[in-house]
């Protein structure tokens, strides 16, 4: 197979199954929108924001999350949201991403004059416009290359405050006697119902996600929402095992029917188990076996993990991906946040090649896992055809032969 140079990695068709829209804006666009919408920023230059907010390294998770205060603030109207979604696709296309599932929490943008449906429809318009423009290329029209396809994953939140958005604030006002966990559950049910309805109305919604702080906010509180998604045949992914132990991953799979796991960083970590489990080693081994056997894909985000997990800060080769690789688990490389982590899918793959000495066949496997385990917005037969085109294109670039 062809040597995995930076140019080859860039030309390969790629997927990104775990990327947040509000963490992936262009800085010049953020600055422009902030000025127009009177959002105060700590700097109004690219260099200043890179120095103060969107860094290459962070002290801790709270510092990493600081940038979202500014990005979500400018996602305050349909025009801005559509533009951000459109530019997001252009940036993905420029580095060879052919399939992307962008996720966002629509309730964070709800306010007077902007409903959850209008937020999702604005993103939908941006994705469709970018796809239309890209897919007129001759090599796509004649079927020799896979087209650009984008879908949306709507995020529910494990935890939120009423100050996070007008939409969340209204929920607190409407249910003043409710326990906070009831509010979180109610909000996630609304996301699941909206996702199913909007998908049925023709939007590019392909699934739901559960995001936010794991510790103290268990997945089980969102069973109702995920049952709705399950019965509506939506794709289901869950942030799990990112800042909590293996049992969080089990909850995502067992309670929420997760098809994929976002991060799964602590899948193998017995010491991270918080529950009173007698035989931790056996528990972890059984969980890993289950994940492997069911081909539950792990959405691996190397750079963002290294930026937020102190144990990984000094050496990427310590990342649990090394063990995931050894166990032959289904994994695919994702960016998490293109802006906040200052990364691309090409960079994630390049870093993995360097840190774990991956060969071309292993990179090929990861690319194929990504497209096969996607929540493709089309029929099964359409997905099969798309996957075949995708694999053929990968193999042409890598120079794969029958004897490879």
Active site residue 242: yes
Marked catalytic residue, from 82, 101, 242, 348? 242
Pairwise CA distance, residues 21 & 127, whole Å:
11
Instruction: Please name which of 404, 299, 297 lies closest in space to residue 361, comparing C-alpha atoms.
Output: 404
Full 3-state SS string of 31-62: HHHHHHCCCCCCCCCHHHHHHHCCCCCCCCHH
R_g (Cα) of the chain, nearest Å: 20
Cβ atoms of residues 301 and 239 within 8 Å: no
Cβ atoms of residues 356 and 318 within 8 Å: no
Beta-strand pair 14-20/297-300:
unpaired
Cβ atoms of residues 217 and 240 within 8 Å: no
Pairwise CA distance, residues 258 & 61, whole Å:
25
Q: Which two tokens stand for residue 135?
A: 């897919």
Instruction: Please name which of 242, 235, 223, 283 lies closest in space to residue 65, comparing C-alpha atoms.
Output: 242
DSSP string, 15-31: EEEEEEGGG---HHHHH
Give the relative orientation of helices 116-134 and 78-94 as an angle to the nearest 10 degrees: 30
Just list the catalytic residues. Answer: 242
């Amino acid at each position: 197979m062809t040597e995995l140079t930076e140019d080859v990695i860039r030309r390969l068709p790629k997927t990104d199954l775990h990327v947040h829209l509000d963490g992936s804006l262009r800085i010049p666009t953020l600055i422009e929108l902030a000025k127009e919408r009177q959002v105060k920023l700590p700097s109004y230059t690219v260099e200043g924001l890179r120095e103060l907010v969107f860094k290459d390294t962070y002290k801790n998770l709270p510092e990493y999350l600081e940038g979202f205060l500014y990005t979500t603030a400018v996602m305050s109207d349909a025009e801005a949201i559509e533009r951000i979604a459109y530019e997001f696709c252009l940036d993905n296309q420029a580095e060879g991403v052919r399939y992307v599932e962008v996720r966002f929490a629509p309730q964070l943008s709800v306010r007077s004059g902007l409903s959850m449906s209008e937020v999702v429809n604005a993103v939908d318009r941006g994705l469709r416009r970018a796809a239309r423009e890209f897919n007129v290329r001759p090599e796509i029209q004649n079927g020799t290359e896979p087209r650009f396809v984008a879908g949306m994953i709507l995020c529910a939140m494990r935890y939120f405050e009423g100050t996070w958005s007008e939409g969340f604030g209204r929920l607190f006002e409407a249910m003043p006697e409710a326990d906070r966990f009831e509010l979180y559950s109610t909000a996630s049910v609304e996301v699941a119902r909206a996702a199913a309805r909007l998908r049925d109305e023709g939007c590019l919604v392909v699934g739901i996600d559960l995001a936010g702080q794991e510790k103290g906010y268990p997945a089980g509180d969102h069973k109702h929402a995920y049952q709705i998604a399950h019965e509506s045949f939506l794709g289901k992914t869950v942030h799990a095992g990112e800042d909590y132990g293996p049992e969080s991953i089990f909850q995502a799979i067992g309670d929420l029917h997760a098809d994929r796991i976002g991060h799964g960083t602590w899948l193998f970590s017995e010491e991270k188990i918080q529950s009173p489990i007698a035989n931790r080693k056996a528990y972890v081994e059984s969980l890993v076996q289950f994940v492997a056997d069911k081909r539950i894909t792990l959405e691996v985000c190397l750079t963002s993990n290294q930026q937020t997990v102190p144990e990984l800060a000094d050496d990427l080769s310590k990342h649990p991906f090394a063990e995931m690789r050894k166990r032959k688990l289904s994994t695919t490389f994702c960016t998490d946040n293109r802006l906040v982590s200052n990364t691309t899918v090409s960079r994630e793959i390049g870093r993995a090649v360097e840190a774990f000495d991956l060969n071309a066949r292993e990179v090929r496997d990861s690319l194929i896992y990504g497209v096969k385990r996607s929540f493709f917005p089309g029929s099964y037969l359409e997905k099969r055809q798309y996957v075949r085109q995708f694999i053929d294109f990968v193999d042409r670039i890598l120079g794969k032969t029958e004897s490879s």
